[in-house]
Amino acid sequence: MCKLFNWLNNKKGKLSIIGLGPGKYIFRTLQAEYALKKADWLYGYYSYINRLLLNKKKIYSDNHFEVTRAHEAIINATNGNRVAIVSGGDSGIFAMSAVVCEEIDQGPAAWRNLYIEIIPGVTAMLAVAAACGAPLGNDFCAISISDNFKPWETIIRRLDIAAKGGFIIALYNPVSNNRPWQLYAAFTIIRRHLSHNTIVIFGRAVGRKNEKIIFTTLANSPPDWVDMSTLVIIGSEKTRIVKRNNGQPPLIYSSRIIL
Amino acid sequence: MCKLFNWLNNKKGKLSIIGLGPGKYIFRTLQAEYALKKADWLYGYYSYINRLLLNKKKIYSDNHFEVTRAHEAIINATNGNRVAIVSGGDSGIFAMSAVVCEEIDQGPAAWRNLYIEIIPGVTAMLAVAAACGAPLGNDFCAISISDNFKPWETIIRRLDIAAKGGFIIALYNPVSNNRPWQLYAAFTIIRRHLSHNTIVIFGRAVGRKNEKIIFTTLANSPPDWVDMSTLVIIGSEKTRIVKRNNGQPPLIYSSRIIL
């Protein structure tokens, strides 16, 4: 009975949506490692798939093809295969989980039978924060400033109220080839509410060989190397720098105490 | 030369601040596993330390003694020991990293020599989100509604503007023995701006044996079992439910598309 159940279960397709964490495999959870091994097919963006040295059927696609990727992976899984879609960081934060859910929501009824598992990961803002201290140590917002799927007016309004409300702000998708100016506009909005001495952190390719993490203040223009692999953290008035000795980088943290 | 360097390095104390992820060890990163093994002393809240079956010197303390815990762990490490402070989830989100940074900021200059590593983990909101779909699929805020360290007026104002701004809201520290009413008050504030049909998720002890995840709407009062191990996600108007077949729980997601 149990064996029969297992056999039936194995014949059934399965779709895993896996957050790989940032960069190197040591940032992955054991659960993500296990799910990767179980999958026969891997779907994802080039650079995420390329990090995986596993001997699998790999379907690469560009960042603009999330819906097609989700669609094809769902069909492959409903055909009885063990399929995984991988995201860098966490798949639920501006990544593939919501795309897959929306496809199933709008797709044929049969897709609702599909067995789905979603495996969380360390999202970029947590990794950048840990690399420089505890800048997310108090209430914070995460905002994608890509206006591909929402009006720029909505983004402006959210940046405005987040800064006014004293939230620490994590900006995802700050700059792409098609969106070169949004980050500069975002800084202009935020400067209306926060002191120009507010600490700002830029973390690029965190956890990878070419990791680059710098901090500056809101007075300065964002560096020109900011791209889609960069996560920006804008501190609050409670974000401070602790200078270190022994050549260690400073610790940046946001106090949990607000008087 | 290399051996001498290693010896000197080992003699130097080290403080690791480790996010264990939620519950079971499979949610931990490989980096967290490695750092746990390297430490000789573990400091943390009872229930986090109790999950670790490692043969280490363990110093338990209650949730109200974060500052004492940080202080003692720093002194132990500056004396040359390899010390780890553990947090559930991610140590940078309403947890120990900011407490340690603040202690070093205010402590004696010698503490700034201490070698510190901070290891990120899967924070509760990511785990709860993954367990039910992708409710954090668009811009979101994380707010601790504990008024132990910030005025209740600040919390009210942030809840108000987060709901008004269309953010999905993750509430940390919703209820404790000393703070039984704040969550109900928070719901009253949020109901001013959001439809009573807005989806709300309560995730308790996620990733552990006694995990409990339910969803309801904002019209309903929070369940009476909500406690400090519970994470609350309040959706936006873009948060939807996808009913499933085969006895599977529904998928809850927030669309990335805002028109």
Q: What is the pLDDT of residue A11?
A: 54
Q: Which residues of chain A are within 8 Å of residue B243 when distances are taken between CB atoms? A: 112
Q: Are A133 and A242 in contact (CB under 8 A)?
A: yes
**In this structure, what are the phi and psi dihedrals at residue B172, rounded to the nearest 5 degrees?**
-100, 155
Q: What is the pLDDT of residue A1?
A: 40
Architecture per CATH, domain B125-254, reads as 2-Layer Sandwich (3.30)
Q: Determine contact: B68 vs chain A, CB below 8 A.
A: no
Nearest to B167 by CA among B185, B187, B194: B194
Residues in A 193-252 with any Cβ partner in B closer than 8 A: 240, 242-246, 248, 251-252
DSSP B8: H
For B181, counting Cβ atoms within 10 Å of its Cβ (0-12 exposed, 13-18 middle, 19+ buried), the class is exposed
Q: Are B69 and B85 in contact (CB under 8 A)?
A: yes
Give the number of beta-carbon pairs within 8 Å between A and B. Answer: 250
Of residues A28, A137, A164, nearest to B30 (C-beta): A28
Specify the DSSP element, H or E, that contains B177.
none
Model confidence band, residue B185 (pLDDT cutoffs 50, 70, 90): very high
Closest A-chain CA to B165: A158
Q: Determine contact: B38 vs chain A, CB below 8 A.
A: no
Q: Which residues of chain B are within 8 Å of residue A26 when distances are taken between CB atoms? A: 29-31, 34
Neighbouring C-beta atoms of residue A176, cutoff 10 Å: 14
Residues in A 124-183 with any Cβ partner in B closer than 8 A: 126-127, 129-131, 133-144, 149-151, 154, 157-158, 161-162, 164-167
Out of A198-212, A237-251, B1-15, B235-249, which region has the weakest mean confidence (pLDDT)?
B1-15
Say whether pLDDT at A6 is over 50: no
What's the whole-number mean pLDDT along residues B26-43? 96
Out of A194-198, A251-255, B62-66, B132-136, which region has the weakest mean confidence (pLDDT)?
B62-66
What is the β-pairing status of strands B57-61 and B212-217?
Answer: unpaired
Alpha carbons within 13 angstroms on the beta-carbon side of residue B159 total 26
Q: What is the pLDDT of residue B23?
A: 85
Specify the DSSP element, H or E, that contains A175.
none
pLDDT in tens, A82-141: 999 999 999 999 999 999 999 999 999 999 999 999 999 999 999 999 999 999 999 999
Please list, in sequence order, all residues whose beta carbon lies within 8 angstroms of the beta carbon of residue B71, skipping any fewer than 6 positions away: B103, B107
Q: Determine contact: A9 vs chain B, CB below 8 A.
A: no
Domain residue ranges of chain A, discontinuous segments joined by +? 2-122, 125-254
Selected from 3.40.50.300, 3.40.1010.10, 2.40.30.40, 3.30.450.20, the CATH number assigned to the domain covering A2-122 reads: 3.40.1010.10
**Separation CA B102–CA B30 (nearest Å):** 27
Nearest to A219 by CA among A234, A240, A229, A239: A234
Closest B-chain CA to A115: B248
Quote the ipTM score.
0.95
Neighbouring C-beta atoms of residue B175, cutoff 10 Å: 23
**Separation CA B85–CA B74 (nearest Å):** 10
**Separation CA B73–CA A227 (nearest Å):** 38
C-alpha of B226 from chain center? 15
The full length of chain A comes to 259
What's the whole-number mean pLDDT along residues A230-256? 95
What is the β-pairing status of strands A133-134 and A251-254?
Answer: parallel
Of all residues in chain B, the percent with pLDDT exceeding 70 is 96
- Measured distance between the N- and C-terminal CA atoms of chain A, rounded to whole angstroms: 63
CA distance B139 to chain A (A): 5
For A188, counting Cβ atoms within 10 Å of its Cβ (0-12 exposed, 13-18 middle, 19+ buried), the class is exposed
**Separation CA A240–CA B98 (nearest Å):** 10
Tabulate helix, strand, coil % of chain B (nearest 5). 35, 25, 40
Cα separation values, A245 from A64, B10, B169, Å: 45, 18, 39
